[in-house]
Amino acid sequence: MPDWAGPKSGKLVKRATPVIDLPLGATEDRVVGALDIERALTRGEKAFEPGLLARANRGYLYIDEVNLLEDHIVDLLMDGNRAIGTACLSLGF
């Protein structure tokens, strides 16, 4: 195994693998996340509120009946680059 592939501390860490369920009525904000408007207005900071894809990181996003999802949600899941924003704030990832 290459040096970069192993754990840095020399010991393995066991973590539960997340399994996140994607509901059929999920919105774009719920799937990919959104800007935290409250934090932006009160503190003047750009803050990202992660969605279901972020919660499923290093795990599984379970989609029951993918054919019943709205087309734009399926497109979100299949695309790689994402930009989230409003009229005056934006965040890309």
Q: What is the CATH number of the domain that holds 81?
A: 3.40.50.300
Residue 8 resides in a domain: no
Model pLDDT, residue 81 = 55
**Full residue range of the structural domain in which residue 33 is found:** 17-92
Q: Is the pTM of this model over 0.75?
A: no
Report the domain count for the chain: 1
Residue 2 resides in a domain: no
Model pLDDT, residue 35 = 84
DSSP 52-90: HHHHTTTSEEE-SSGGGS-HHHHHHHH----EEE-SS-E
Residue 4 resides in a domain: no
Residue 60 resides in a domain: yes
Model pLDDT, residue 6 = 58
Residue 57 resides in a domain: yes
Model pLDDT, residue 90 = 53
